[in-house]
Amino acid sequence: GDGDGDGEWLLIPGDGDLVVTREHAKADVAASGTASDLALFVWGRGGDLQFWGDKDQLEAWASVAP
């Protein structure tokens, strides 16, 4: 397969940590796309994603991504 499939992940920043769980939950901001596009976004290289929610939270995430 291509590595893409249905799934939801919740990322919660903490005191120097990032807690990652695989669950459906209410979040401040959400992104949807292929696994490869999500990986590109996390590494600051774009990605064709759809976003919902708090744009300030999205920008904060992008500012600390590697």
For residue 65, the model assigns a pLDDT of 65
Looking at the predicted structure, is the pLDDT value of residue 3 above 70? no
Domain count, the chain: 1
Looking at the predicted structure, is the pLDDT value of residue 53 above 90? yes
**Residue 54 domain boundaries:** 10-64
Give a yes or no: residue 1 inside a domain. Answer: no
**Per-residue confidence band for 52, with pLDDT thresholds at 50, 70 and 90:** very high
Over the stretch 14-45, which tens digit does the pLDDT of each residue have? 788 878 888 888 988 888 888 888 888 878 88
Give a yes or no: residue 5 inside a domain. Answer: no
Give a yes or no: residue 15 inside a domain. Answer: yes
Beta-bridge mates of residue 58: none
Give a yes or no: residue 47 inside a domain. Answer: yes
Looking at this protein, which amino acid is placed at residue 54? D
Instruction: Extract the tokens encoding 20.
Output: 């990652």
Give a yes or no: residue 4 inside a domain. Answer: no
Beta-bridge mates of residue 29: 53
Report the predicted TM-score, pTM, of the whole model to 2 decimal places: 0.67
